[in-house]
Chain A
Amino acid sequence: MQLFVTGATGSVGQTVVPQLLAGGCAVTALVRGPAAIDGCRVIEGSLQEIDRVAGEIAACDAIVHLGCTRSLDSTEVLQQDIAGTAGLIDAWRKGPFIYASSSTVHGYPLGILNERAGIDLWNWYDRGKYANELQLRLAERSNGRDGAVILRPALIFAVNGRRHDRQMLGEIFVQCQLGSRFVFASDEALATYGCAFIGGTDFGRVVDAALTRDLSGIYNVAGGFCTWRELIEMFNRVAGTKSEFVVRADTRPKSGEYRLAQSRTELDTTAFANATGFMPKETLGELVEAFVRAEHSSPRA
């Protein structure tokens, strides 16, 4: 299967592309700057000039759209993320379209969310993701196209060269190294607040699984849920850091303190598991250990 992949050099793309190649797919990757990706045919360009590569896209059997500015700025989101995706959809002629959206389109409510849960678009990143979801849902199964598979992953804990590029795992690790104290509003918050997560390699397997079945629709994907406390204590144990916790009603961080999202949003992933039989393999412990190993072998500059 010939795939057209965007965002192949990004934090998510770096772990997804090897999985796609391992699954036997041929990958044509759109990259913004000069780059070489093992096993891939690389085309230099951007989503803003997608017309230039429309022929390449039309020749591919499927599109995997991982590219995202991850910006909160309205102009960037409108002109790059949404306009770029619109161009990509225009060039989509056949096969499925896999899109990496985000579970943050639901906001950060407390509880277990399925795909039909309420929407809370409180920043431009989420607006961009949700607008792209809608564009795809309107375009799928028309003009020879197959279904659009919209994946709403939990936080992606990816271990690769972009692991510190605005990634949550990298950010928490840096705070642990700095010896920051993590602030929580109550003992209950300390014990229960955290995040759903999925390993980068597992997410690559998710994309591969989505490609091999005639799917369509929105799917939550996650590998598990961890409390912030579990995650930080794991870093302390594996990397030898000594971060502590502070519990007080006013969670505004003071000097030497760090405030994590005061939420516990879990994702109901049964729809994707039922459709594909996907089971996550990467555990939190493995991900943290791999992250710390990567730090030891090539620490952050």
Chain B
Amino acid sequence: MAKNESPSPGIINPSTRWTWTLRRVVFISGVCLWLGSMLVQTRLDGIIALWTGALLLGGLFIVTTPTRTVTIGQLIQPLCLGGAMLGIVVLAGVAFNITFGTSAGPLRDLTIPLVEEVLKILPLLWILWRERNGRSQSLGVTDLLLIAAACGVGFGLVEEAFIRHNEGWSRPLWWLPTSEIIRRPDGTQLIVGHGAWTGLAGLTLGFALLLRRPRAIMMTIGISGLVWSVIDHAGTNYGNSYRDTLGTILRFVNGDGWFTAYLFLVGVVAAIFFDLYLLHFNQRKLPEAKLPRPGLSLDRLRTVWAFELVRRQFAFAVARYQRESGISRVRAAVLAANLDGTLVNWQQWWRDTSKSSNASV
């Protein structure tokens, strides 16, 4: 390893070189078509929908800075996959209309939320499955929150833009930019938006994946966010349209949408503190996990930040290792060891560079 190059651990060594491949061309074309057609048709409303989605994701990205391991770049894929899921929902809606007719409103208002919430979380589940022996094992709860929220925001962009284009904008909660407060004669109703719904589902899944045991309780916790999102979403759709007993019950259960907003807020805070605890507990024992002095140069800060992200991944992988059993535990041990090797290599690189800079002084 050359002393002045950034460390190339050879273990966890993501390639950062951009190359034009057919896949990427198709991907970029799809994104342009997706957002371009939305902006052409909804103009300012589309821009506002983009802005509120960016505010929610950006806000979450900033508040989770002390704990997250995902980067902005890594949120692009779930964001776009979320958008793609809306296309599937539109097709599902067409299929529903063909099967049940357009007059089946109540049934539609109850089933579409279920379909939408499940489809929105699918990209996250796919990412977790695809990286099941690797990166999935080194994600914290806040990472899953961010990925899930990105899926939800991606899904909600076009829908929000069109709804608002047709129905106009109402005031959101100041701390939840994708939300919408609807004033009614009998009170107010809050719609938290797709980003918060899916974010909540991702949050509980994150807690369950990191805690692991007892299995039955963790499975319940894991799925509870999704179930709550479906209930709240159905309460919003059905409860808004129908003032019958079911609508009243749904609106009562979700507190006219306000419960979900505060549940989301509490969940985000809990996720940050939970991840902070794991990071502190699992890094304290090993000298290679010690953070070097950041220094004043931008390069130094950048390398320290890159080290910090690996250090966090290591802590989450150790947490998974300690809670897993069987072959999953073994795989978590291998991943944690690879990350630990990367930390050792970083430490050596810092020692070498500080020696060479001292020598040059």
Contacts and interface: CB of A to CB of B under 8 A. Distances in A.
Interface string A76-96: 001100110010000000000
Contacts of A301: none
A211 B341 CA distance: 27
Contacts of A79: 327, 330
Interface stretch (B25-33, B108-116, B122-130, B332-340): B332-340
Interface string B317-347: 0100110001101110110111011101101
Given A127-B337, A131-B337, A118 B345 contact: yes
Contacts of A133: 337
Interface residues of B, number: 28
A24 B139 CA distance: 49
Nearest to A82: B330
Interface string B137-178: 000000000000000000000000000000000000000000
A105 B10 CA distance: 13
A78 B334 contact: yes
Contact of A138 (B285, B331, B344, B349): B285
Nearest to B1: A118
Given A119-B341, A137-B285, A131 B348 contact: no
Given A117-B348, A119-B341, A138 B334 contact: no
A120 interface: yes
A120 B337 contact: no
B340 A120 contact: no
Nearest to A120: B10
Given A116-B348, A118-B344, A82 B338 contact: no
Contacts of A121: 11, 337-338, 341
Interface of A is mostly: helix
B337 A116 contact: no
Contacts of B326: 83
A274 B209 CA distance: 44
Given A78-B327, A120-B10, A137-B285, A131 B344 contact: no
B286 interface: yes
A135 interface: yes
Interface in B1-34: 1, 9-11
B348 A134 contact: no
A134 B11 CA distance: 15
Interface string A101-123: 00001000000000011111110
A115 B334 CA distance: 20
A97 interface: no
B286 A137 contact: yes
B337 A86 contact: no
A57 B321 CA distance: 23
Contact of A131 (B10, B286, B334, B342): B334
Given A131-B330, A133-B337, 12 more contacts: A78-B327, A78-B334, A79-B327, A82-B330, A118-B344, A118-B349, A120-B341, A121-B11, A130-B337, A134-B333, A137-B285, A138-B321
Nearest 3 pairs of A and B residues by beta carbon = A119-B341, A131-B337, A134-B337
